Structure 1
Amino acid sequence: MLSRYLKMALVLGLLSAIGPFAIDMYLPALPDIGRSLGAEVGAVQLTLTAFFLSIGLGQLLYGPVSDRFGRKPPLYFGLGLFTLASIGCALATDVHTLVVLRFLQGLGAAAGMAIPRAIVRDLHTGADAARLMALLMLVFSVSPILAPLAGSAVIALTGWRGVFWAVAVAAVAGLLLVRGALSETRTPADRVGGSPGEVLRAYALLLRDRHYMGLVLIGALAMSGFFVYLAGSPFVLINHYGLSPTEYSLAFSLNALAFIGAAQFTGWLGRRFGLAALARVAATASGVVMALLLAYYLAGGDRLAVLMTLYFIASAFMGLVIPTVSVLALEEHGALAGTASALMGTLQMLCGAVAMGVVGLFANGEPLPMVIGMAVGALSGVALAWGTLGGQRPAPAVQRVRG
């Protein structure tokens, strides 16, 4: 039984990680790209913005398509597009072409972000789904730990263009995995939707489902806190606290390991206490820890050890929240699992991007603005968790959407 879970988690996790790898491996190359293409910093950063935009919005397309035609065809298309766009990026001779190709690359990567979660829902519900989702996230979460190091090594050996050749090879490996190791989980009898009207009605159904939206936003607020930390921590930990880049990478990895390690207990805890209770208690615990961290800095504290220790604990609780609310959000939308997964992914990424932008307006290199942003996200998640999961679940809406 464990080997079956591990095999599926490895396949789905690797497919999900291709897009983040194309972000994390790419970050060390930004200065070299600017020098090579004679581009200003803003133009080079636009290549990253274009990728984030397309990988977020692209999920809205792949979800309904996978509900209508099955999970594997859109994976083939997305990975194929990603491969071709990656090769184009490796051959680009000006930054404007690179921006366009990065947008196309993100559209391809969006398939690997939206569809694996729908496959989890096709195969399992309840604690079993939480267990598989946690294993998938274990593989997926290795990306922010290993990808920057791998990117630096590739750049040192081949230059920045080698990064795009490397992710193209990874996408080809993903295509082989889809072909040889992944069975179609969406049978013809289960397929729904198709026309633009049906797709819009499906999204309208989900947006009207307060329980689904509450769960999605709990995860989105948790991710927003992480996005704020992702954007602010290099300046706070390196410039303010004086860590070297290597020490910063190790410190960042500790929080990722806390998240990954705790996530592996979601299946067992979900069976023992129930998924709704687990999500509610874990979100509350994370909020309490972040409130303590905020109070410490508001009181004038400024020790790195306190920041790292409390955020390590908060990250562990978030490792219990995110896979659990993802499973619960898809639980009653099996007929629209692809569409529901896509909307969840898009909203979470957009909320994270908005949170980064808002906190960025107040960022000054000091810890307090970053900690305020992280705490606001966590405490808002607590309120939503109790509002969404604290009472009786209303009767679910009709799932199927027909023209």
Structure 2
Amino acid sequence: MTTPAAHRRIVYALTLSLLAAMGPLCIDLYLPALPALAADLQTPTASAQLSLTAGMVGLGLGQLLFGTLSDKYGRLRPLMLSIILLLLATLACAAAQTINQFLCARLFEGLASAGGSVLARAIARDMYNGHELTKFFALLMLVNGLAPVFAPVLGGVLLSFLNWRGLFIALAIIAAVQFVVARINLHETLPPERRSQGSLLQSWAALGVVLKHRSFMSFCLPQGFMMASMFAYIGASPFVLQQIYGLSPQAFSFCFAANGIGLILASQISARLSQLWGEYRILSCGLTLAIISSASLVVSALLHAPLWGVLLTLFFSVACTGIITVTAGSLAMQSQGERAGSASAIIGVTAFTLGGASVPLTGLGGTSLMSMAVTIFGCCLLATLLFLLLARKPQRQSV
């Protein structure tokens, strides 16, 4: 029988996950429509891919905005503001008539959708610490991981009777529903006495304090580069699998969903194993697996591997991100107590800024399996090197 505390935990995890999933949903839902979008707006493939970069840059900048606001004004008011702005920006995406208009709308859509991502982590840190925080992050990943699993599938299905503009109208409807759900299920987790008492500029100054915290950065940076490898895969895979390997939008969606399932399974397994061996050790193993799987992807590109070989190596490369996101994210947030909003903001801006930079790299010289594989491997390598250089076994104490 579910206890009241367990029921409340599940309700919070579901609500926060749906809010945090809006950023990935804004990225993933229209992936199958990227080629059609480029043709409709009469723009090159590289320009269409820039819409992913614009969204991710917005997601990064929005983390800084809403994270610092939440440390000063609480979690709920910035969260509700972000959802309203998201609704308006998504409608602007649907109405765009030129690629420049679309890129601008995507930037603001990403910025607004960051509220759910950054505040989900901050609220979780307000409520939990230690292994409990890791378990809650895994629960967030379980639900949040469904976004990349089902978003391209849903996008592929919707494309059978809607155009790409209709996808953004669907996103706007989802944002409206999320506003109602958040108002009903969430309460303020940062009371006035625990908020930043200085000016807003002083709240921004807290970002510098967190950036200088070695323990935090030793987990934040590896997680950021692993997320960059994920975004490189997200940005390049529609063109690699559809244009090079000839998959239909629907077939691509199901391949993308299979990798999302691997991400979810890996995150849940890592949370369970962390209770036995600790987050630090599981994170080390995850980075090792990431290097092996991404190197195998490069070998697949060199050997011009068949589709099944590429999909197999991609599956494990993506799954490793689930291990690293849960463990590194938990360790980073555990090192920050009173500055949870700022810490969550830096995690987000690091991930999405690096992700925004990695997507164009896959298009240099034309998007190909090799360019995607080399970018993913490079991100995994940098994540591992930074972890080896900076990380020390953490003490389970908040600062």
Aligned equivalent of 1:284? 288
Aligned-residue offset at 1:206: 1.5
Deviation by residue 1:58-86 (Cα, 9 ceiling, x = unmatched)? 11110011011111000111111122333
Aligned equivalent of 1:387? 389
The whole-number CA distance in structure 2 between the counterparts of 1:91 and 1:360 is 27
Q: Is the 8 Å Cα contact of residues 126 and 275 (structure 1) preserved in structure 2? A: no
Structure-to-structure mapping, 1:1-400, within 5 angstroms: 2-29=6-33, 40-41=43-44, 48-90=52-94, 98-157=102-161, 159-192=163-196, 194-295=198-299, 297-298=301-302, 300=303, 302-363=305-366, 365=368, 367-389=369-391, 391-393=392-394
Q: Is the 8 Å Cα contact of residues 56 and 353 (structure 2) preserved in structure 1? A: no
Aligned-residue offset at 1:54: 2.1
Q: What amino acid sits opposite 1:304 in the alignment?
A: L
The whole-number CA distance in structure 2 between the counterparts of 1:295 and 1:165 is 41
Task: Show structure 1 runs of 5+ residues with no match.
Answer: none
Q: What amino acid sits opposite 1:122 in the alignment?
A: D
The whole-number CA distance in structure 1 between the counterparts of 2:219 and 2:172 is 34
Q: Is the 8 Å Cα contact of residues 64 and 194 (structure 1) preserved in structure 2? A: no
Q: What amino acid sits opposite 1:320 in the alignment?
A: I
Secondary structure in 2 matching 1:180: helix
Aligned-residue offset at 1:331: 0.7
Aligned-residue offset at 1:311: 3.1
Q: Is the 8 Å Cα contact of residues 259 and 314 (structure 2) preserved in structure 1? A: yes
Deviation by residue 1:288-307 (Cα, 9 ceiling, x = unmatched)? 33334435655x36233333
Q: CA 1:104/1:308 → structure 2, altered by over 3 Å: closer, same or farther?
A: closer
Deviation by residue 1:170-227 (Cα, 9 ceiling, x = unmatched)? 1222111221111211111211155243134211112211221121111111112222
Q: CA 1:395/1:309 → structure 2, altered by over 3 Å: closer, same or farther?
A: closer
The whole-number CA distance in structure 2 between the counterparts of 1:45 and 1:112 is 24
Aligned-residue offset at 1:11: 0.4
Q: What amino acid sits opposite 2:168 in the alignment?
A: F
Deviation by residue 1:325-365 (Cα, 9 ceiling, x = unmatched)? 01111112111111111111111111122222234224452
Q: What amino acid sits opposite 1:234 in the alignment?
A: P
Q: CA 1:5/1:263 → structure 2, altered by over 3 Å: closer, same or farther?
A: farther
Q: What amino acid sits opposite 2:218 in the alignment?
A: G
Aligned-residue offset at 1:232: 2.6
The whole-number CA distance in structure 1 between the counterparts of 2:327 and 2:23 is 22
Q: Is the 8 Å Cα contact of residues 24 and 148 (structure 1) preserved in structure 2? A: yes
Aligned-residue offset at 1:374: 1.5
Q: CA 1:192/1:271 → structure 2, altered by over 3 Å: closer, same or farther?
A: same
Provide the TM-score with structure 1 as the length reference. Answer: 0.86
Q: CA 1:240/1:87 → structure 2, altered by over 3 Å: closer, same or farther?
A: closer
Q: CA 1:163/1:210 → structure 2, altered by over 3 Å: closer, same or farther?
A: same
Q: Is the 8 Å Cα contact of residues 93 and 102 (structure 2) preserved in structure 1? A: yes
Q: Is the 8 Å Cα contact of residues 57 and 107 (structure 2) preserved in structure 1? A: yes
Task: Show structure 2 runs of 5+ residues with no match.
Answer: none
Aligned-residue offset at 1:131: 1.4
Aligned-residue offset at 1:148: 2.9
Q: Percent same amino acid at aligned positions?
A: 32
Q: CA 1:276/1:81 → structure 2, altered by over 3 Å: closer, same or farther?
A: same
Secondary structure in 2 matching 1:335: coil
Provide the TM-score with structure 2 as the length reference. Answer: 0.87
Aligned-residue offset at 1:130: 1.3
Secondary structure in 2 matching 1:302: coil
Q: CA 1:387/1:47 → structure 2, altered by over 3 Å: closer, same or farther?
A: closer
Q: What amino acid sits opposite 1:335 in the alignment?
A: E
Which segment is superposed worse, 351-360 or 99-108?
99-108
Aligned-residue offset at 1:88: 4.4
Secondary structure in 1 matching 2:17: helix
The whole-number CA distance in structure 1 between the counterparts of 2:22 and 2:138 is 18
